[in-house]
Amino acid sequence: MTDAFSQQSALAPSLLLFSYFQLLDLLTTVGFMLHGVKEGNPVVKFALAVAPTPIMGLALIKIAAVAMGIYCWKVGRQKLLGRINVLFAVLISWNMYALIVASV
């Protein structure tokens, strides 16, 4: 087993977690959209405005995010991917909290 292979294998769970977080972020963003909450991220806001449908714009942003995650995995940026995972874990937790509070 080569070092590069073992390094990529160790990173695979981080990439899977990152992809899962992207799916959860997509779902919470759709939940916000259904409740009339405006998108706060200017890049996502732009994609929602210029895409044929907001969902398509959001999906394209998430596909691009997963592609960047794959790039990080391929070049061995394990620490960066881990930090981004922490950021998305906090973001999704906040989104879920906000959706629950808004529905009560």
Mean per-residue pLDDT over the chain, rounded:
89
Q: Indicate the domain borders of the chain.
A: 10-103
Q: Which pLDDT value is given to residue 47?
A: 95
Q: Is 94 helix (H, G, I), strand (E, B) or coil?
A: helix
Low-confidence ranges of the chain (pLDDT < 50): 1
Q: Which pLDDT value is given to residue 104?
A: 81
Q: Which pLDDT value is given to residue 60?
A: 96
Which residue bears the tokens 């881990």?
A: 82
Q: Which pLDDT value is given to residue 71?
A: 94
Helices (H), the chain: 3-34, 42-50, 54-74, 78-103
**Which residues contact residue 64 at a Cβ distance below 8 angstroms, ignoring those fewer than 6 apart?**
none
